[in-house]
Amino acid sequence: VGTRGCKKIRGAQIRDILDSKHNVLFDCDGVIWNGETVVAGAPEVVTLLKQQGKRVFFVTNNCTRPRENYVQKFSRLGFTDVVEEEIFSSAYCSAAYLRDVAKVQGKVFVIGCHGVQKELQDAGVPIVEDVSDGPDVSIYNFPLEPDVKAVLVGYDERFTFMKLAKACCYLKNSDCLFLATDPDPWHPLRGGRITPGSGSLTAALETASSRKATVIGKPSRFMFECIASQFDLDPARSLMIGDRLETDILFGANCGLDTMLTLTGVSTMEEAQQYRDSDASEKKDFVPDYVVETIGDFLQALED
Ligand code: PLP
Ligand code: CA
């Protein structure tokens, strides 16, 4: 094998790769949209891929929305043919994991927003009610529920010291599972700002509990297993397209998929090349097979 990876492609080269695949897995933020701004051409690309008989999936570490709200977002941004069954979020997959893999018998203490809570509810996984604490409750003396068998941490804009304190108490019990929706460190916002990701909250709890979380979202293989349990997926005929090397591209490598970096999001060509040229062999799984400027470039390749 020659130097593998980071092959910048366009036009007919894109077409050849897509021709060889049956399943296309898209990361969402940084690939098909940035926040509330759609990547130009993305809705048409999805439609054309489907018209050509491909199966399309959306694999996102964003746990803030339940699946049904993603359907609304897709349609708001101009996608006309995306259905709930194609959307796999770290919240949805965390609920599936708790129900089908861990088969958790008891309640789940959730640090996370509406998306996580709603997906757990929909999956029939009981969660600890988030009641407001009474006047005699302090961070030195707070009530704990007796039957908590898992702690799940995801992005939570209402993260507090109290939630951290309760979570690390539950984790004192070694029978209590410790799960994280995703390991993302931060996310870009507009105007050069960033917001801390689930990974930063998980890191706080890992330190406080002296335990390591099991990650459900990318780069964990579980996201792929979750899709594969519902659709018959041949990894060799599947392509993962993402914008973050440490999650999306590693995810693809972990699952045996060909990988494509798009430059409309977080990671750059230079970072990909640094991983490629690094001597550390464990960095090789961060190297994408292919690089495109934007998935909008698929349009020409698909229309010809
Ligand atoms: N989690 C949160 C809270 C986010 O805001 C984002 C991106 O906006 C993500 C995760 C990453 O999502 P994706 O995996 O679609 O890039
Ligand atoms: Ca992304």
> Among 94, 39, 14, which residue's Cα sits nearest to residue 61?
94
pLDDT at 2: 44
Confirm whether the ipTM is greater than 0.95: yes
Query: What pTM, to 2 d.p., does this model score?
Result: 0.96
Q: Which residues are near ligand 1 (CB < 6 Å)?
A: 27-30, 60-62, 64, 155, 184, 187, 197
Question: pLDDT tens, position by position, for the chain (304 residues)?
Answer: 445 699 999 999 999 999 999 999 999 999 999 999 999 999 999 999 999 999 999 999 999 999 999 999 999 999 999 999 999 999 999 999 999 999 999 999 999 999 999 999 999 999 998 777 788 889 999 999 999 999 999 999 999 999 999 999 999 999 999 999 999 999 999 899 999 999 999 999 999 999 999 999 999 999 999 999 999 999 999 999 999 999 999 999 999 999 999 999 999 999 999 999 999 988 999 999 999 999 999 999 998 6
Mutational test site, ligand 1, from 33, 38, 62, 82, max ligand atoms within 8 Å of CB: 62
pLDDT at 3: 56
Both structure tokens of 297: 């470039």
How far is the centre of ligand 1, averaged over its atoms, from the C-alpha of 111 (Å)?
Answer: 16
> What pLDDT, on the 0 to 100 scale, is given for residue 304?
67
**Distance (Å, rounded) from C-alpha 96 to C-alpha 119?**
9
